[in-house]
DNA sequence: ATGAAAGCGCTAACAA
DNA sequence: TTGTTAGCGCTTTCAT
């Protein structure tokens, strides 16, 4: 059993509240000698306050829960470390900690087998990191939880923090234009539908950024009288065809001088094709992509348009904590501006 | 404020213990009518038991803490989702939940600014996921925590769960031999030292699997009278040279017919070089690699030697929980066997 | 079958 | 400056 105030009180011959005062809030109202004795004993005995006891007393858990969705059908869903960093940094400011739980996107969730964090009262607020839609049961459970809740990475009318992909792509395209580029392509692959998934469902299930980056790019191009060009044109191909699509795009006399890749996934076939065709990056082709980190692919250092994961985490915590401290009707959504950085290693001014 | 037993008691006209009994342990000892009334009210009012109150009563937090190290100097440290899955699955068996915290690998940690999870008493046990060495201060703080603690992904004398990379590589090499391969190479890049990092320190800081996979490979080769071949021979190169190294390896008349890649990072230059040289995988070259998931690179489906992350998570929880329930002197280390799967898409029988 | 009492560890209010 | 009392939400006796 862990060391309690009572044990320290017994060891020092003082009362429990005295010991508690010295070790937490009101230490200044005690004699130097007492403080010395208590602090010394606490250190020696390895005292650490019981967080649950404090939670009960204060009516606050001092804890937020991060709910991660889990998708059985597709692999490689994961917790971006930048998000966690942002969340933890901001939580530290409020002396709070984090509980993490995953929620199954399967029929199992229908059986009322909710994770413990949702079944019991464990946190003062929830951050739901959507990678896709959550099942009804979970949604209901979340609403029933009488604590503030916010979503990240999803574009909702209220209560979500998401990167502003429309503006980012628009600005990025404008930026490339200013650097002299006229043939700018957006390369964006979508997987062919899963078995049993219709095409329209596939598109509807896609992340909001698929449509938003597309729109931002189109608007910027059209504004400047340029013709938007997508690879592949229909946007939807099987994984094996990625290289072919990149080949078709880059092995043309009027190939683009700048390419915006939707994500890191689009990057690899592109780089491969460029290398094989003897095209130099960034001299012959400028490459930009949306990602969480700069990449080194096939020896080429590539600078990413960095998804503001850390700020997303920070903002999410900030909003939830605010809602906890002064409960209001609802949390407004926030579209986070990207920072299109000044230094883009893999982008060059277009040659005449 | 959340709904409490007292509120339900008030609403139903019953006593707090009665309501509590029905809703938790001893429901069977009450009349059907009472049960009905209580359960109905609880559902209607959205009752969820206060986890902290239970923790106080029971003397158990019902919670484990996962400590992730954070390395400022190198990016891309992250929480493998498979580990989290394993941890959560096993925790669910014990009706426990998970707290996650990151610990800075910087001097800040020296200032006694420990994360709240370590400063306070919040969990019944700790799982420390090492990606590298933790600073002394943190190590000390962990020891002082009077709860069971286990490390993952680190090879220690006691208290760690780690994949058995030696045996895995040895078996894998044997397996390739049985399929007719004689020229088998291990491709394993190490980054050049960071500024201020000596070469020997760089090697010492490397993950245990670097040495273990190397040893397993060498032992298997030597046992069969074959000559181990590494690319690059010295093992230590800069990132930009990865492609050159792969080129040197594969553009030779006596090029290997099978390649074991240390990790996913080694894979990409290899695939690129093979594609560019017109070498077919797996027809001309068999490729295997250590990774968390199968990969599709440049249109080629590659089957990974899967690092047993999920089992690592499960075992870690199992061991810690056991130590919590029956405290013993120390937790023994466990080397987890890999499962070299029967189906290896990217491996073919060697041609004569 | 139900309720009264007690106590887990901690802290705020009050009394000494 | 220090100690006493009380109570947060829950559960485990033990009476009724």
Distance B52 CA to D8 C1' (A): 10
B327 pLDDT more than 90 = no
Confidence grade of residue A145 (pLDDT, cut at 50, 70, 90): confident
What's the pLDDT at A40?
Answer: 95
* A117 touching chain B per CB within 8 A: yes
B140 pLDDT more than 90 = no
What's the pLDDT at A158?
Answer: 80
* Chain A (3-62) residues lying within 8 Å, Cβ to Cβ, of chain B: 3, 46, 48-56, 59, 61-62
What's the pLDDT at B49?
Answer: 97
Which residues in B lie closer than 8 A to residue A46 (C-beta atoms)?
Answer: 144, 146
Q: What are the pLDDT digits (tens) for A221-275?
A: 999 999 998 887 766 677 778 899 999 999 999 999 999 999 998 999 999 999 9
Given an 8 Å threshold on Cβ–Cβ distance, is A79 in contact with B77? no
What's the pLDDT at B199?
Answer: 67
Average pLDDT over residues B170-189: 95
Given an 8 Å threshold on Cβ–Cβ distance, is A84 in contact with B84? no
Average pLDDT over residues A321-342: 90
What's the pLDDT at A71?
Answer: 66
Which residues in B lie closer than 8 A to residue A71 (C-beta atoms)?
Answer: none
Strands B160-163, B184-187: pairing kind: unpaired
Distance A264 CA to D9 C1' (A): 49
What's the pLDDT at A24?
Answer: 87
Interface test with B, best of A67, A87, A116 (most B CBs within 10 A): A116
Confidence grade of residue A76 (pLDDT, cut at 50, 70, 90): very low
What's the pLDDT at B29?
Answer: 79
d(CA B128, CA B148): 11
What's the pLDDT at B182?
Answer: 97
* A92 touching chain B per CB within 8 A: yes
A21 pLDDT more than 70 = yes
Q: How far is CA A99 from CA A78, A133, B264, B322, in A?
A: 16, 21, 30, 22
Most confident of A137-151, B148-162, B281-295, B311-325: B311-325
What's the pLDDT at B347?
Answer: 84
- Name the maximum alpha-carbon separation found in chain B: 88
Confidence grade of residue B81 (pLDDT, cut at 50, 70, 90): confident
Percent of chain B with pLDDT over 70: 92
What's the pLDDT at B76?
Answer: 47
Q: What's chain B's average pLDDT?
A: 88
What's the pLDDT at B28?
Answer: 75
Report the range of poorest mean pLDDT among A21-25, B15-19, B217-221: A21-25
What's the pLDDT at B239?
Answer: 76
Report the range of poorest mean pLDDT among A35-39, A159-163, B106-110: B106-110
What's the pLDDT at A25?
Answer: 74
Q: Higher-confidence residue: B108 or A168?
A: A168
């Amino acid at each position: 059993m862990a060391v309690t105030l009572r044990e320290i009180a017994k060891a020092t011959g003082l009362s429990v509240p005295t010991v508690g005062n010295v070790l937490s809030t009101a230490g200044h109202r005690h004699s130097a000698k007492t403080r010395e004795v208590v602090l010394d004993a606490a250190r020696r005995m390895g005292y650490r306050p019981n967080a649950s006891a404090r939670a009960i007393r204060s009516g606050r858990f001092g804890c937020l829960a991060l709910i991660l969705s889990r998708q059985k059908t597709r692999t490689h869903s994961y917790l971006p470390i930048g998000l966690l960093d942002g969340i933890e940094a901001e939580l530290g400011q409020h002396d709070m900690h984090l509980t993490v739980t995953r929620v199954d996107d399967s029929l199992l969730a229908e059986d009322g087998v909710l994770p413990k964090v949702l079944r019991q009262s464990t946190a003062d607020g929830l951050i739901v990191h959507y990678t896709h839609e959550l099942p009804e049961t979970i949604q209901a459970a979340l609403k029933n939880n009488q604590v503030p809740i916010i979503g990240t990475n999803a574009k909702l009318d209220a209560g979500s923090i998401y990167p502003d992909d429309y503006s980012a792509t628009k600005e990025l395209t404008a930026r490339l234009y200013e650097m002299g580029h006229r043939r700018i392509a957006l390369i964006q692959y979508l997987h062919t539908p899963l078995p049993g998934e219709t095409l329209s469902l596939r598109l509807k299930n896609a992340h909001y950024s698929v449509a938003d980056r597309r729109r931002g790019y189109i608007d910027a191009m059209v504004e400047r009288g340029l013709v938007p060009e997508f690879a592949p044109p229909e946007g939807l191909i099987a994984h094996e065809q990625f290289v072919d699509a990149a080949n078709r795009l880059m092995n043309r006399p009027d190939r683009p001088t700048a390419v915006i890749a939707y994500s890191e996934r689009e990057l690899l076939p592109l780089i491969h094709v460029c290398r094989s065709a003897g095209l130099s990056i960034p001299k012959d082709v400028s490459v930009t992509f949306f990602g969480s980190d700069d990449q080194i692919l096939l020896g080429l250092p590539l600078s990413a348009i960095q998804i503001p994961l850390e700020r997303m985490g920070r903002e999410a915590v900030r909003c939830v904590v605010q809602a906890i401290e002064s409960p209001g009707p609802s949390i407004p959504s926030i579209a986070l501006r990207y920072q299109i950085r000044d230094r883009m290693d893999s982008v060059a001014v277009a040659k005449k």
